[in-house]
Amino acid sequence: MIKVLKRLSLTQILLIALIVSASFLRLYNLKNSLSFQGDQGRDAMIVSQIFTKKDLVFIGPVTSVGNMYLGPLYYYFMLPFLWLSYPSPMGPVYAVAILGLITVWLVYRLGKELIGEKAALIATIFFTFTNTVIAYTRFSWNPNPTPFVSALMIYFTYKAWQKNPLYWVGVILSFAVLLQLHYLTLLSAGGAGIIWLISLYENWKKRNKSKNCSLQLKATLIGILILIFSFTPLILFDAKHDWLNANAFYNLIYQDRNFKTTTSGGFIDKLSKTAMETHGRGMHILFEISIGQERLLNTALLITVIAILGWLLIKNKKNKHWSGWIVISAYLITGIIGTSFYEHTIFDHYIAYLFPVTFWIYGIIIGFLITKGRLIGKLLGGAFLAYFLWFNLSNLPIYDLGWTIDDMKAVSNSIYNEIKPGEKYNLVLFSESRDLNAQNYRYFLTATDRPPLKEANRGEAETLVVINEDHLIENVADSPVYEIVVFPDKKPKKVFTAHDGPEIIIFSTREDR
């Protein structure tokens, strides 16, 4: 072992240490710290029906804003892993964790070409230990693979500009995948579009000496055709359902005012509003995901990053990594500006596709401070790293949750034991998650021979099972929830506490209860 270590460079040893650390942070205690909420239960239910009922799906999850359906790609990503672990939902969870681990390596490997080895290694350190990044690799959800795909898209953009225009096919293919994971990744087209225009202009200037201009246009056309083909299931679904998705997208952009400013007044007022939002989005993307919401500190850091990055881009055009800086900056700028027009709350998973960008920027700036900033630069870079590690290592998302999937399964088994074969029943959940449909419990019961009614048949329910987590509702029968209001018998047939957890109330119209 010692002989092997002696053959390795310091960089290689550090990289191995980072991969080992990343493996621990993404895989340790995964089951007992798992977030298995309504979205995860719904996804697991839909995917399990593919191999248990041969029920293929042509649309993906519905978005929380805009009521649009994503493509079904993430469901088919989950499919082989859930099939292997079924009925446990852990298969896709491990798949996402391993994909997150691969992304750690990609931040270094792709970053070497984009920003240089030292800067890539610095970026990998931050990417490895950031709680926000870690958290989104420890459960199964459609936005979670976006950092992996966006890292490839950014790298392909760089290669298409600097090496071979055929890489534009890879850029558009990556973009097609991102659009099926989260709709806000649409903003990634802005960064790619800027570099595409620069590349086309450069190729056009040397058109008599090169065929790259024609090759770029052909590669783009091929990529667009692949993009359209990837959305064929959604297009067919839309055509059959009165263009539900297309209308929802139109309303999202033009009617619901999600992407346009509602500021009254003239152009100056609107410009001021956008500038203020840009400041907030810039802090969120660059610092809040890694060191929390410290407005004064983050504002100072944002100004520092803008000043140093601007100076590098303007004064260091001969640097061999200048093109990589430009590509990363294009994605960063369009991400910040694009989200500044979005008038709903921006959650961390909305900007997950920018995680590699954020930490490559860290690598560029801190690498510059350490290399060129003399003693003060080294002190500043070291102080930021120390503060970052203190903040993140003290809040790691690897510890037991109070309510685990084993607890949920035990409660589901308790409900199963109360249900008679052939009994038509529905579920309602009262919890802080606000998942009235009880999708997580519903998943476990769907995997049995006594599944709850499907959504289309819930009007046939003769028994209603209410799961009252943490006893949030005192008198369940008086609740205004539709399923309870319309149920004909409001007198509970049985009330009990399941697995030292939620209160279970059973209403029924059956005479044998």
pTM for the full predicted model? 0.93
Per-residue pLDDT tens for 289-340? 999 999 999 999 999 999 999 999 999 988 999 999 999 999 999 999 999 9
3-state helix vs strand vs coil in the chain, percent to 5: 65, 5, 30
Closest CA to 401 of 1, 5, 87, 30: 30
Per-residue pLDDT tens for 256-279? 555 554 545 555 666 677 777 899
179: Cα separation from own chain's centroid: 11
What is the residue extent of each domain of the chain?
Answer: 2-393, 405-508
Per-residue pLDDT tens for 276-292? 789 999 999 999 999 99
- Average pLDDT of every residue of the chain: 90
Percent above pLDDT 70 for the chain: 93
**pLDDT of 141 over the 70 cut:** yes
The 10 Å Cβ neighbour count of residue 333 is 16
User: What distance in Å separates the CA atoms of residue 414 and residue 420, rounded to the nearest whole number?
Assistant: 12
Which range is most confident: 110-114, 494-498, 508-512?
110-114
**C-beta of residue 413 within 8 angstroms of C-beta of residue 43:** no
Mean predicted confidence (pLDDT) in 2-11: 74
Per-residue pLDDT tens for 53-98? 999 998 888 877 667 889 999 999 999 999 999 999 999 999 999 9
Q: Whats the size of the chain, residue-wise?
A: 513
Per-residue pLDDT tens for 338-394? 999 887 789 999 999 999 999 999 999 999 999 876 788 889 999 999 999 999 999
pLDDT class for 173, splitting at 50, 70, 90? very high
The pLDDT of residue 260 is: 53
User: What distance in Å separates the CA atoms of residue 317 and residue 306, rounded to the nearest whole number?
Assistant: 17
Helix axes 188-205, 322-340, angle to 10 degrees: 140
Residue 284 makes CB contacts below 8 A (sequence gap 6+) with 339, 346, 351
Closest CA to 490 of 475, 474, 507: 507
Within 231-354, residue ranges assigned H as helices are: 232-240, 244-250, 267-283, 289-291, 295-315, 322-340
User: What distance in Å separates the CA atoms of residue 175 and residue 156, rounded to the nearest whole number?
Assistant: 11
Closest CA to 381 of 390, 370, 393, 392: 370
- Per the DSSP assignment, residues forming a β-bridge with 426 are 464
Q: Which helix (H) or strand (E) segment is 410 a member of?
A: helix 405-418
Closest CA to 122 of 378, 375, 393, 397: 378
Mean predicted confidence (pLDDT) in 116-128: 97
Q: Which amino acid is at 99?
A: L
